[in-house]
Amino acid sequence: MSKPPDILRIAIVQANPTVGDVAGNLVLARKARADAARAKADLVLFTELFMSGYPPEDLVLKPAFVEECMEAVEALAGDTSDGGPGVIMGSPVRDKSGLYNAAAMLDEGKIKTWRMKVDLPNYGVFDEKRVFDTGPMPGPVNFRGVRIGIPICEDIWGDFGVSETLTESGAEFLLVPNGSPYYSEKMDVRHQVVIRQIIESGLPIAYANQLGGQDELVFDGGSFVINRDHHLAVQMNQFESSVIVTTWRRGESGWFCEDGVKANLPDKEESDWRACVSGLRDYVNKNGFANVVLGLSGGIDSAICAAMAVDALGEERVRCIMMPYDYTSEESLDDAAACAKALGVKYETVPIEKPVEGFSAALSDLFEGTNEGVTEENLQSRARGVILMAVSNKFGSMVVTTGNKSEMSVGYATLYGDMNGGYNPIKDLYKMQVYRLADWRNRNVSPDCLGPSGEVIPQNIIDKAPSAELRPDQTDQDSLPPYPVLDEILECLVELEMSVDDIVNKGHERKLVEHIEHLLYIAEYKRRQSAPGVKITRKYFGRDRRYPITNRFRDR
Which residues form the catalytic set?
A: 48, 117, 153
Cis peptide leading into residue 4 (ω within 30°): no
Question: What is the spatial distance between Cα 233 and Cα 225, in angstroms, rounded to a whole number?
Answer: 6
Q: Which residues pair with 427 in a beta bridge?
A: none
Distance CA 141, CA 173 (A): 11
- CB pairs under 8 A, 24+ apart, for 358-361? 359/383
Rounded Cα distance between 26 and 20, Å, is 11
Phi, psi for residue 238 in degrees, rounded to 5: -85, 150
Distance CA 390, CA 385 (A): 9
26 CB neighbour count, 10 Å cutoff? 22
Q: Which of 23, 45, 39, 167 is nearest to 106 (CA)?
A: 45
Long-range contacts of 223-227 (CB under 8 A, 24+ apart): 223/12, 223/14, 224/190, 224/191, 224/194, 225/12, 225/257, 225/260, 226/191, 226/194, 226/195, 226/198, 227/198, 227/256, 227/257
Task: Using alpha carbons, select from 432, 411, 396 the residue that is nearest to residue 287.
Answer: 396
- Rounded-to-integer distance, Cα 78 and Cα 550, Å: 54
Number of H helices, E strands in the chain: 17, 19
* 71-279-527 Cα angle (round to 5): 110
The CA distance from 380 to 399, in Å, is 17
Question: H/E element holding 194?
Answer: helix 186-201
Instruction: With H, G, I as helix, E, B as strand and everything else as coil, classify residue 140.
Output: coil
